[in-house]
Structure formats: structure tokens, C-alpha cells
Amino acid sequence: MADERRRIYYTKAQTSEGLVTDGKEWMFTDNTEYIGQYHRYTTGEVFSEPSFIKGKSRKLIPYIDLSEIRIASGDISLNSELNSEYNVVKNIDVPKSVNLNPTTITPTVDDFKNGYVLRYFAFKVNDEQLVELDNPSYKKVGTENGMDKILWRKFEMKWKIVGPEHDVLNIRGDIEESGIIDTNMRTVAMLSETYPPLMDYIVDYREFSKF
């Protein structure tokens, strides 16, 4: 049975269609890996098929290699009735997992020369918790001294900190110089398709900036 979307209607601006995965990226909620065309929405929802087909498109969730999941006593036996990666993760006693305290970066002189800084995040797949980290903590994710690699997915975000506040357009309406706020809004909108909490986490698109 196909899954339902959160909304009845989505605009073209809210939909990315005709995307393709070769594997190790998405899977169905019954933990079956998905390979082929898919589409996604700005709400964070991802479905099979190049565009939504009622009765055929199925919900996709981030891929997890279940063979890598281990518990202290050895391999875990997965119950075939578990119907999502979240149910699997919730029932795992992951050893040596450390919850690092949220921290933020401090831009350096070189960052301001480059015009941007890298911000680091970890996303918890079972409850969609989002944590911002500094670089040393970010590097620990997936190690014995950091957050567990099964529960947490880490990602970087290129954050513009130098330039005009908004895009500068030429007479043709093309962007002549990217603005801090507009650039960072575009970056957050793109990443929030995979990590939905990011849209709520970021409230100041001028943070750290000089313009």
C-alpha cells in the first residue's frame, strides 16, 4: 500500500522531481533499499517515482546499512515486523555512544578573508534532533569518543559571512553579487529538505557576518 503525503497539493517550487539514486541513499519504511527515480518536497518528505503517483509512490527514508548495526553481545537479530529505520534504532543498545554538548564555531581572520565559514551539525535519525558542533566535536562523530555513527548523521554547511546583505542584481535581473542573507537562506532551504529541523534552528541569516 502506498504512503500518503502530508499535504494534498504542492507547488512546483516545493517539489524536486526526477531525482535518481544508485543506492545506499534511500530505503522504504520496511527497510528495503531503494534504487531508481524519486522526488522530494521542501517539507522533507521523499517519495519513490519521478513524481507523485497516487497508489504507487511510496515514502522513502534515509538509508541505513542494517548489517553494520551491532550490540555489545554481538550481532542483532532484526525482527521482520519492524517497519522503519526508526523502529530499529530505538531498540538498539548502542555501546560507547557519547552525546556531545552543542557548540558553535568562531570565524577566524582567514574565514573572513574567504568570505564564508563552515558550520557543523549532527542529525539524530530516530527523533530528528539537530545539534550544532565545533570542528573538534564534529570530527568525533562516529568514533568511540563521539556520537554513534548509526544514530547520528553529520553534515557541513557553507555559511556566507562577507558581502552585501542581499543579492545585488544587474539590469537584466541576474545576480551580480550574492548577498549574505539570500545566500544563506538558499543554503538552509536546500539542506532542510534532508534535515528538516535546520529550517527552524536557523533564525539569524546574518550571524557572524560583515556587510
Cell match 551580480: residue? 176
Q: pLDDT tens, 25-77? A: 888 888 888 999 999 887 778 899 999 998 899 988 888 776 654 443 344 44
Question: 110, 159 in Cβ contact below 8 A?
Answer: no
Residue 78 pLDDT class (50, 70, 90 cuts): very low
Looking at residue 95, its pLDDT comes to 45
Looking at residue 81, its pLDDT comes to 38
Residue 179 pLDDT class (50, 70, 90 cuts): very high
What are φ and ψ of residue 116, in 5° steps?
A: -155, 165
What are φ and ψ of residue 28, in 5° steps?
A: -75, 170
Angle CA 128–133–136, to nearest 5: 135
Tell me the Cα Rg of the chain: 20
Query: Would you call 56 exposed, middle or buried from its count of C-beta atoms within 10 A (0-12, 13-18, 19+)?
Result: exposed
Looking at residue 161, its pLDDT comes to 95
CA distance 27 to 53: 18
> What are the extents of the domains in the chain?
1-93, 109-201
CA distance 94 to 91: 9
Higher pLDDT, 68 or 107: 107
High-pLDDT (> 70) share of the chain, % = 81
Long-range contacts of 106-111 (CB under 8 A, 24+ apart): 107/161, 107/208, 111/161
Cα–Cα separations (whole angstroms), residue 75 to 68, 70, 92, 143: 9, 5, 11, 19
Q: pTM value?
A: 0.55
CA distance 77 to 176: 57
First-to-final CA distance of the chain: 52
- State yes or no: pLDDT of 124 exceeds 80: yes
